[in-house]
Amino acid sequence: MNAADGWDGVVRLVRAALGDDVVGAYPHGSAVAGGLRPDSDLDVLVVVHRPTTLGQRRALVDGLLAISGTRARGGPARPVELTVVVHDEVRPWRYPPRREFQYGEWLREAYERGETPGPTVDPDLAPLLTMVSAGGVALFGPAPHEVLDPVPHRDLERAVVAGIPDLLDELESDTRNVLLTLARIWTTLATGAIESKDRAADWALGRLPAEHRAPLARARAGYLGIERDRWDELRPQVRAHAAHVVAAIDRLVAAEGNR
């Protein structure tokens, strides 16, 4: 399935499952920040007028299991990450925001067992909504700026930093994504912009000492499809690299707190 078919499939599913409850659907992530890469997800935010029912959320799960990822029931496809928010929960903006639903391939096994995601507080919505607004693209519905309030920089900062402990727990199992995400957090705190993963890596590589560059360079190359992920010979350097980047992030957070 190509990217265009993927977007169309997601739109059809959202309209079928949620009907007139939908305000709009908005791409984010790689699609609006430098273009889709070989392993990029189709990242979609859906805004709805009112809370979803259990039946609606299950319909989304069942539909996404059929069209998302290498194990899609309809054949291999790009992974889909779909997030739903209720309009009144994010506008007017308040922190921490509340998420109505989320699907991602990392949750597939739980969803195949019959679990259905429900509403929860989710600080990660702050960078997600920021990317949607910056991208300015609607798959359908009003433009993002007509639907979403700007996320204050302080709340964006709090949100991206909040996820670091969980990221570090996955350093061994998801090395490429963790290193690229840490680079993106560092870039966001330093510049105020949410860059694509490869651009964030470029920014960070220009600021890393030589002894800490190799792991991030490998992660960037894997993300771009230039080379395969191979970590055995770099494994001793990966944790030192992550510690160096987290220390740089901590310094930025401390400096912001002292202003």
- The residues that are catalytic are 81
Question: Is the separation of the CB atoms in 42 and 7 below 8 Å?
Answer: yes
CA distances from 66 to 42, 78, 81 (A): 14, 12, 13
Diameter of the chain measured on Cα atoms: 55
Q: How far apart are CA 235 and CA 258, in angstroms?
A: 36
Question: Is the separation of the CB atoms in 82 and 44 below 8 Å?
Answer: yes
CA distances from 231 to 25, 61, 75, 250 (A): 37, 33, 30, 26
